[in-house]
Structure 1
Amino acid sequence: MIKVDGHVHTPFCPHGSTDSFEMYVERSISLGYTAITFTEHAPLPEGFSDTTPDQDSGMDLTRLTDYFDALDMLKEKYKDKIIIRSGLEVDYIEGFEHETKEFLATYGARMDDSILSVHFLQHEGKWDCLDFSPDVFHSMIGYYGSVDAIYSRYYETVLKSIRADLGEFKPKRIGHMTLVKKFQQLYPASHSFSDEMSIILREVADRDLELDYNGAGFVKPYCGESYPPLEIVKKARALGIKTVYGSDAHTANGLDQGRTDMDL
């Protein structure tokens, strides 16, 4: 049986754990995985200011070569036990497409696999990391005007990420496409946004991209479902879109999270 985790973070994550690469790999092997992709948060684009308190949403650019070198050694060490892929989770930040394209042109050849995600949204010049905390999301409601307005902006931005020209090394997998629902039990939207998601899925299918089928939402206290949920996954598969399980683990113990509740 082929068992893959396509979204795993690492000790290079500035807001993650200090668990070693070996801890992640050994646990993956013990859980029966045949392949994993390490997808650390890529450095944020030059000129963009991280809005999180510790400014730790992305890796420091000076550590990137060490990250890839460490993964190369890890691949060799475990080559007879598990397939290890080098990757990044790249932020799509509207208005910074050129900088992101340049970054990918420089480092893309070192990646075996990668994810394109939206975490940051802009409203009238103000940026927010929408999934950072319930408090941040609540403050966003104040100036967006409603939960629905945040959802609309999020899905609009995801669509822009799919359509963006980011060059030869643009990531082929769209990360947690319903991340905006992370706090849905606290701040529910008034409707399903099914039309917006259908447009997104058609764009993903037309470009032969993949979807990150992310289990982390199941362990988030105010979400209770995968990103995206099963009904969206079924629609994606009906369109021929490949879905790839991702634990989105930020610790070794986070590997496999949500998997038993998902259709894999």
Structure 2
Amino acid sequence: MQNKPWNLESFIDALVMELDKTREILAIKAINKPLSYSVKDMALDLQIFPIYDGDSVFFTTAKPGELGSSKITLNLGSITDQVVRVTSTKLPTRDDASIDKIDLDETTKKELKKIGINSIRDLEEIEKKNVDIQKITSNKKIDYTNLANLVKKAKRNRIPPEIKNISMSMENGRPFILIEGKNLAIQDDFNPVAILNHEIAGIVSCNPGFVKIDITDKELTNQDNELVLALDPYSVLKVRMKEKGNEDTYNAT
């Protein structure tokens, strides 16, 4: 049999899976048998040859009679669900995203994972506490100054804007374009910008579900009208509006 390299994570996962199966079988046996036997703790001594490729550590098991191997001792003990919850980080939610989804080079991702940053939420927590990641990572050549922008961009990609309706209204003789939707203006530190037919139009009010644009002194054609709406640095919409019949509503594409 070929002596293939293995890593510690997969080896322990396989052991724990086997022990879990044993426990589940005991639960079935307990229905009919009042007494049985289980594994309380498990200890293994392995003779191995470690292999380090610069990023990961692998092992090959020493064959009988092979010299120069190292010894590794594994002790597996039971743990309750309460202890797991107390000593583990929160599980990722659907709104969270792995740093693997961020537009970062592989070296930066590896450095972040080394210090326990595996998701957008982890980065946000670090940012809230004003931690200088540059000072605590081993690779000083990596530039982390753009991380905050990358976090915001990744968050925006998870909640993209959605336009549901575009209409026009008149208030005190002034025309306005009303845009209704979801996840429109969601950044408090950014003022959205609107450009109608290549001219800047003033945004009167905006929120995640509503954008109101003042188009006084702006001309709308009966054909296509181009509206460019920069909701934030990571979300710019280009909408072509065409009047729908005689109504003050528009088809948007």
Report the TM-score range of the alignment, normalised by the length of the smaller protein: under 0.3
Bigger fraction of residues in strand = 2
Which structure would you say has the larger RCO, counting Cα contacts within 8 Å and 6 or more residues apart? 1
Bigger fraction of residues in helix = 1
Q: Which has the larger radius of gyration?
A: 2
Give the TM-score of the pair, scaled to structure 1: 0.21
